[in-house]
Amino acid sequence: MANYLMEIGEVSKVRLYGQIDASIAPSLMEELKPLIAQKDNVKKLVFYADELEYIASAGIRAVVFAKQKLGGKVQVYLIGASETIIDVFKMTGIDKFLTIQDTFTE
């Protein structure tokens, strides 16, 4: 497994790195399942993307999947992403439900 999930709690953390394409996205979704099982406890979901080089639509779907399963009250953050990655999120409209920042402070 690729080890994306860093921490589960009120502020849950996921490290996105490398290239997340159709062959990798299923492992990301699998790692998000324990987080989703704790959905009543999660208030913020933080995706650290400073090491993310590429994300395909399958990777975007994994982010959307997590948001949908956790519900509307959970705040979602994308932290440290490159301009290229930010552009992908903006082109897909996903930036409407997540906060894009350089750094995250709890």
Contacts of 90 by beta carbon, 8 Å cutoff, 6+ apart:
none
Is residue 2 scored above 90 in pLDDT?
A: no
What is the domain partition of the chain in residue ranges?
5-101
5-101: CATH number? 3.30.750.24
- Which pair of tokens denotes residue 33? 């399942």
pLDDT of 32-91, one tens digit each?
999 999 999 999 999 999 999 999 999 999 999 999 999 989 999 999 999 999 999 999
Cβ atoms of 48 and 15 closer than 8 Å: yes
Task: Say if residue 105's pLDDT is above 90.
Answer: no
